[in-house]
C-alpha cells in the first residue's frame, strides 16, 4: 500500500476522496499508482509501487483531447508498437551510471552495468484543486544490495487548462554517500513518444534555436525542444522546458527519431564524440542537486502552439 503520512494524519480519507469530485485537477491514490484527471478526463497515472516498478513513471500521457502521446508498451500491448528498449516507460527520470550502477536501463532482462532500483519512501501529499494538483513523493535510489546511494524528493504540479496539459517537476537529489552521476548519454529526464509522433513517422523535433531533426537536435544544447506531429489525423506536440536555474543550463538533448525524448546534462563525451570529456557530476554526502522541468502537451505544431512564448512564461513564473 502507498504511504500517505500527512494525509492520513489530518484528514479522514473518505472525506478527502469526496472532495476530489469538486476539483478540476483530481488526484486519486491507489494501491500501486496515483491517478490524475483534469477537468473530468483521465490524464495519467503515476506508478510508484509494485513488483514490476523498478523506477517511478507516468503512463500514459494524454493531450487535452484525450489522445495518448506516449508509447504504451511495455506496460500494455498495442499492435504496431515497437518493442525495443523495455526501460522506456512513459515519462521517467533516472540515469544510466550512478556510482557504476544503471538506474536507466534497469529492467532485469537487460545486460550491462549492475541494475539499481528506485524505491518509494513515502507520498507526503497527493491533492487536487481547482487550478492545479500536487503529488509530493520521496524515493530511495538503491544499489543491487539494497543500500541507498541517494534520495529523491519529487514535487509534480499538474495544471488545469482547456487546451494544454502542463506538468511542472521540481526534483531534489540528496547524496547519502559520495555519489557520481557518470558521463553517459543514457539519461536523464525522459519521455518515450507514441510511434506516430516520432521522427520516423510524422514527428519533427525543433529546438529553441529553430534547428530541426535528430541531426540538429541530438547532443546539442538548448533551453527547450518540441516534438510535434500527427496522431490519427490530429496535429499535436510535446515540449520539454529546461529551467534556467538547472545545473549546466541550457541542457543537452538525448532525443532520437525513434521517439526517445530526453534532457541530459551528463552525456558530454557521447554528445561531443570526445572520450576525454567528463560531463559527470559528483555529490558529496549530504549535498543536494536540484532540477526543474516543465512538460507541455499542446495542440498544433511548434509554431502554432507558440512554444517559444510558453517557455518565456515558464521562466517568468514564480
pLDDT digits (tens, 9 = 90+) for 104-115: 999 888 888 899
Question: Please, which pLDDT band fits residue 82 given cuts at 50, 70 and 90?
Answer: confident
Coil, helix or strand for 10? Answer: helix
- Once rounded to an integer, what is the mean pLDDT over residues 11-31? 63
Torsion of CA 298, 208, 171, 85, to 10 degrees: 70
The CA-atom distances, in angstroms, between 276 and each of 39, 86, 222 are 51, 31, 23
- Once rounded to an integer, what is the mean pLDDT over residues 128-139? 98
Cell 476530489 appears where?
Answer: 20
Query: In a 10 Å sphere around its CB, with 0-12 CB exposed, 13-18 middle and 19+ buried, how is residue 190 labelled?
Result: buried
Coil, helix or strand for 38? Answer: strand
Q: What string of DSSP letters covers 177-226?
A: S-EEE-S-SSEEEEEEB-GGGSTTTT-EEEETT--BSHHHHTT-B-SEEE
Coil, helix or strand for 217? Answer: helix
Question: Please, which pLDDT band fits residue 74 given cuts at 50, 70 and 90?
Answer: confident
**pTM: predicted TM-score of the whole model, two decimal places:** 0.92
Would you say 116 and 142 are in contact if contact means Cβ atoms under 8 Å apart?
Answer: yes
- Once rounded to an integer, what is the mean pLDDT over residues 167-173? 98
Least confident of 49-58, 140-149, 212-221: 49-58
Average pLDDT, the chain: 92
- Compute the residue count for the chain: 318
Coil, helix or strand for 270? Answer: helix
Go through the domains of the chain in sequence order and give each one's CATH number: 5-316 (2.70.98)
| pLDDT for residue 19 is more than 90 | no
Q: With CA atoms as reference, report the closest residue to 211 among 292, 302, 295.
A: 302
- Once rounded to an integer, what is the mean pLDDT over residues 17-32? 74
Give 52's contacts (C-beta < 8 A, 6+ positions apart).
none
Percent of the chain surpassing pLDDT 90: 84
Question: Please, which pLDDT band fits residue 278 given cuts at 50, 70 and 90?
Answer: very high
3-state SS string over 44-71? EEEECCCCCCCCCEEECCECCCCCECEC
**What is the model's pLDDT at position 11?**
37
| pLDDT for residue 8 is more than 70 | no
Amino acid at each position: 500500500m502507498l504511504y500517505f503520512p500527512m494525509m492520513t494524519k489530518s484528514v479522514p480519507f473518505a472525506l478527502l476522496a469526496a472532495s476530489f469530485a469538486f476539483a478540476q485537477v483530481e488526484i486519486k491514490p491507489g494501491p500501486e499508482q496515483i491517478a490524475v484527471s483534469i477537468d473530468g478526463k483521465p490524464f495519467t497515472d503515476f506508478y510508484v509501487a509494485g513488483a514490476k516498478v523498478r523506477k517511478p513513471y507516468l503512463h500514459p500521457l494524454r493531450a487535452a483531447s484525450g489522445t495518448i502521446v506516449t508509447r504504451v508498451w511495455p506496460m500494455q500491448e498495442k499492435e504496431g508498437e515497437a518493442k525495443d528498449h523495455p526501460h522506456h516507460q512513459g515519462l521517467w527520470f533516472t540515469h544510466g551510471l550512478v556510482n557504476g550502477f544503471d538506474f536507466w536501463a534497469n529492467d532485469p532482462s537487460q545486460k550491462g552495468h549492475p541494475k539499481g532500483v528506485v524505491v518509494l519512501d513515502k507520498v507526503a501529499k497527493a491533492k487536487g484543486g481547482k487550478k492545479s494538483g500536487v503529488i509530493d513523493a520521496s524515493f530511495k535510489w538503491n544499489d543491487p544490495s539494497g543500500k541507498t546511494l541517494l534520495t529523491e524528493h519529487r514535487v509534480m504540479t499538474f495544471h488545469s487548462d482547456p487546451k494544454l496539459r502542463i506538468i511542472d517537476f521540481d526534483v531534489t537529489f540528496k547524496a547519502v554517500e559520495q555519489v557520481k552521476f557518470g558521463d553517459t548519454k543514457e539519461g536523464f529526464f525522459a519521455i518515450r513518444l507514441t510511434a506516430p509522433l516520432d521522427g520516423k513517422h510524422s514527428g519533427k523535433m525543433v529546438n529553441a534555436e529553430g534547428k530541426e531533426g535528430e541531426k540538429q537536435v541530438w547532443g546539442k544544447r538548448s533551453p527547450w525542444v518540441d516534438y510535434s506531429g500527427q496522431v490519427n489525423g490530429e496535429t499535436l506536440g510535446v515540449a520539454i522546458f529546461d529551467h534556467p536555474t538547472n545545473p549546466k543550463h541550457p541542457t543537452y538533448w538525448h532525443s532520437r527519431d525513434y521517439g526517445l525524448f530526453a534532457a541530459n546534462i551528463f552525456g558530454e563525451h557521447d554528445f561531443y564524440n570526445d572520450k576525454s570529456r567528463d560531463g559527470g557530476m559528483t555529490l558529496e554526502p549530504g549535498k543536494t542537486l536540484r532540477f526543474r522541468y516543465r512538460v507541455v502537451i499542446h495542440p498544433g505544431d511548434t509554431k502554432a502552439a507558440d512554444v517559444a512564448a510558453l517557455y518565456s512564461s515558464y521562466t517568468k513564473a514564480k
